[in-house]
Amino acid sequence: MSRINLIPGVRYYSNVIAYNYAGAHTTSTSDGFIVDHVDPSSGIVYDGLGILDLEYQNSTDFVAAHWHGFIDTESGVLSYHWCVGGTTHVHRIYANTECSVLPWTNVGLHTSASKNLSIEISQGMTIYSKVYAIDSVGRRSSINVSDGIIIDITPPIPEKFIHASEILGNNTSFENTGGDDVDFENVSSTDICMVSKSYHPLLWIPSEITCMAVVSSDINLAKDGRSFLFIRGNVHQELDQVRAGYLYKVSFFSSHLPITDSVGASKEGFVQVDDAKHVFLIYTKPYRHDGHGLGNSREKISWHAHTFYFKATNDHANITIGSMDMTTGIFLDDLSVQEVNLTTGATSGHVLGHVVYLHEWSSIHGSWSFTDLESPVVDYTWAIGYAEGGTQIQPFRSAGLMNFAFNNNVTLVHNTYIYVTAIATNAAGLRGVSYSDPILVDLTPPDIKYVNDGAGTDEDAWELNEVIANWAVEDPESGILLCDWAIGYQPGGNDLLPYTEVTSTTAYKEFPYSVLIGYTIYTTLKCENKAGLSSVMSSNGVKISNLPPTATSAVVQTLPLSLTEYSPRDSYQGVNDRIRLKWTGFDDNIGVERYKVFYRDDGISELMFFADVQDVLYAHFTKMALTEGSHNFSVQAINKLFKRSNKATSYTITDMSSPVVDATKTLTINWLNKQIVVSWDSIFTSNNDIFYEVSSGSTLGGVNIIQWQETNQTSITFGIPASVAAITGLPVYVTVTAISVGGFSASKTGTFKLP
């Protein structure tokens, strides 16, 4: 039959009726047919087996694909044809389609297929699966092509970090402010939310609610320089020196505040570069919850090292750092951003690892990098053990796509070696393994044997206007990484020289005398070993001066000596075989070490040493032969540099003579107005001044009226005390003793009776 208009998609049936001659008939019906003149609809083709579309595979002799969505609503799909090529090229003549890897293969009604090849596909090649469907009437769908799968049979290759020496950023040690800073001793009592912007670090921009101030200290507290940042909140700075696509290392140090009544023992901070944000934890404060004593047995500040990595996406980056909360805040110092170059040429050291150890608490930090030109890395895992690939300390843990990780819940054994192992898994399922070099666990800081002032043995003073120091330090386990030295007016101080790296065991620095004279100068050495632990030691101080001792305020005295019970007058003495001196007031910037005493007129002297704590000094010379008359005695101070002061001089007159008594004359005694008047003019004579001592009593030698009354006049008037009855006829005995300036005496006695 022809010229019949049949509708596509409608099922038609053929009916046949058979009649016999008797008129009976039978009807038979076909199973029907559908008119189909529409090609099957094409679907979606995925690479690989399973439910996902694979982008990479690690086999060169195996191909696989799966598909769905091929539909033919009229006659239905009869079979699928599949081939694999190295391009996406298809041809209208299906046999001419590029199928260089696997030719067209009829896979029936299977919606997935795989095939082992007799040839090998080249590494890095992208292959494409191509599928079309044929329906029951022989019509073919269009050829659909997968998005391709890359052949990768090489695992990720480890790369070694090469850190650039240049530190990016500005004022990253927080040394520069608007003009003010908070002294460390006042940190606990300072509200940093109330300070002006002059306390803020220059070139850092705070967020709206941030409170911050730069803290300074003249002793060894800052991790770098003399200042560090005290912050509650966060600050940021733009880095315009970064390069897109490059890896950068961000490292810095943080610490708790020294506020002992702070509520939280653990603090958190964060560092963020553009959209990459990392939170860091500060170890429990050293004066709380660690079972090792009170805070005063610990450092005032315990710096914690932190290291993070990020990859720049632009030629500039915004770095933000701060605390996670606004309660007590944290300290920050010595932030550095370094460009990291990567190389695959090195044969070792691809994984960097280091140990942080503080107050019996330790953590292990690892960082790594892998490259894969064909398929990307989809996961990193890392482990810690006592051998390459070992997991005794930490089993393998996923770090996601981060190329660094740390474990702060480990217990380490001193002087052992550990290894960090990193495994990178690429999208093809292949794994690359890399190991760190042996990492020595060194839990002890460097041993500083001594810090001496001077170029050799320790000196207490010198004249040159330079500070010289030498030291000995060792670390038998990990070795010394670096040493810094500083000079200040107190142990640990850096008033004169901030901490400066030094590579030798001797160093010197010149200064003007104006900052040296009058002070004790201390040299401080701070050394860090390769395990990150530090030791600090200061010298016992040195005094520097080019000036001699001063005698401006010096006073020298001769102490009077006598052979009698009477003391000589000032500047006189009544002995000629000894002398006693007293002096004080010599001053020197570096300290007087000795005195030179000139005790004879011919310049003979004696060097004498005294304890530093004595302010008033004495010297007693015997077996001398002093002549009558005046003698000079001088003292000269000599400091530790043998510089001599001017002489301070005292004189004394030796007088061994006694007053002469005129035996022909008597005391004149009168009773006037109920008082006794005694005179002795011209009875006593002497070449020097005379002073007198008068006693009187009612008996010979008695003193019940007056006793030892001194005068330098030749007469005296006194009354009768109430204890003595002034009756007529009362005998009154008077004794006048004349005493010379040397303490020698002569007496005259007189008597009379009261009228």
> Per-residue DSSP letters for 34-83?
E---SPPBP-EEEESSSSS--SEES-SSEEEEEEE--B-SSS-EEEEEEE
206: its two tokens: 């705070």
What topology is assigned to 555-654 in CATH? Immunoglobulin-like (2.60.40)
Contacts of residue 88, Cβ cutoff 8 Å, sequence gap at least 6 = 128, 145, 148
Predicted local confidence at residue 679, as pLDDT: 94
Predicted local confidence at residue 601, as pLDDT: 77
Which helix (H) or strand (E) segment is 488 a member of?
Answer: strand 480-488
Q: Please state, as a whole number, how many other Cβ atoms lie within 10 Å of the Cβ of residue 603.
A: 8
Task: Work out the average pLDDT over 93-106.
Answer: 95
Q: Are 439 and 366 in contact (CB under 8 A)?
A: no
Domain ranges of the chain: 44-151, 155-346, 351-443, 447-543, 555-654, 660-753
Predicted local confidence at residue 290, as pLDDT: 39
* Banded pLDDT at 487 (limits 50, 70, 90): very high
Residues 635, 643: Cα–Cα separation, whole Å: 14
Helix, coil or strand: residue 198? helix
Check whether 204 has a pLDDT greater than 70.
yes
Q: Please state, as a whole number, how many other Cβ atoms lie within 10 Å of the Cβ of residue 341.
A: 12
Residues 430, 427: Cα–Cα separation, whole Å: 7
Average pLDDT, the chain: 89
According to DSSP, residue 627 is labeled P
Task: Work out the average pLDDT over 84-99.
Answer: 94
According to DSSP, residue 492 is labeled T
The CATH number for 447-543, chosen from 2.60.40.10, 3.40.50.410, 3.40.630.30, 3.40.640.10, is: 2.60.40.10
Task: Using DSSP bridges, classify how beta strands 461-462 and 542-544 pair: parallel, antiparallel or unpaired.
Answer: parallel
Q: What is the CA radius of gyration of the chain?
A: 53
Task: Confirm or reject CATH 2.60.40.10 for domain 660-753, answering yes or no.
Answer: yes
* Banded pLDDT at 149 (limits 50, 70, 90): very high
> Do the first three CATH levels of 555-654 and 660-753 match, i.e. the same topology?
yes
Task: Work out the average pLDDT over 188-211.
Answer: 92
pLDDT in tens, 532-566: 888 999 999 999 999 999 999 999 999 989 999 99
According to DSSP, residue 140 is labeled B
Output the CA–CA distances (angstroms, integers) from residue 312 to 242, 309, 338, 402, 681, in the order listed.
7, 10, 12, 14, 113
Q: Are 637 and 645 in contact (CB under 8 A)?
A: yes
Task: Work out the average pLDDT over 489-498.
Answer: 90
Task: Work out the average pLDDT over 45-68.
Answer: 94
Q: Are 638 and 549 in contact (CB under 8 A)?
A: yes
- Most distant CA pair in the chain, distance: 215
Sign of CA dihedral 110, 111, 117, 119: positive
Check whether 295 has a pLDDT greater than 50.
no
Q: Compute the C-alpha angle 550/453/175, nearest 5°.
A: 100
Output the CA–CA distances (angstroms, integers) from residue 127 to 46, 62, 83, 147, in the order listed.
12, 11, 10, 9
Check whether 244 has a pLDDT greater than 80.
yes
Predicted local confidence at residue 413, as pLDDT: 87
Comparing CA positions, the residue from 105, 113, 252, 99 lying closest to residue 174 is: 252
Residues 567, 575: Cα–Cα separation, whole Å: 11
Torsion of CA 564, 567, 568, 570, to 10 degrees: 160
264: its two tokens: 């939280």
Output the CA–CA distances (angstroms, integers) from residue 452 to 460, 468, 490, 641, in the order listed.
10, 9, 15, 18
* Banded pLDDT at 265 (limits 50, 70, 90): low
Contacts of residue 740, Cβ cutoff 8 Å, sequence gap at least 6 = 574, 655, 657, 658, 659, 686, 688, 690
Predicted local confidence at residue 300, as pLDDT: 74
Top CATH class, 155-346? mainly beta
Comparing CA positions, the residue from 716, 732, 712 lying closest to residue 724 is: 732
Check whether 327 has a pLDDT greater than 50.
yes
Residues 149, 128: Cα–Cα separation, whole Å: 7
pLDDT in tens, 468-478: 999 999 999 99
Share of residues in the chain with pLDDT > 70 (%): 96
Predicted local confidence at residue 294, as pLDDT: 42
Output the CA–CA distances (angstroms, integers) from residue 487 to 225, 403, 502, in the order listed.
13, 41, 13
Comparing CA positions, the residue from 88, 61, 59 lying closest to residue 146 is: 88
User: At 297, phi and psi to the nearest 5?
Assistant: -95, 5
Predicted local confidence at residue 219, as pLDDT: 80
Q: Please state, as a whole number, how many other Cβ atoms lie within 10 Å of the Cβ of residue 291.
A: 6
Predicted local confidence at residue 428, as pLDDT: 92
Q: Are 382 and 200 in contact (CB under 8 A)?
A: no
Top CATH class, 351-443? mainly beta
Top CATH class, 44-151? mainly beta
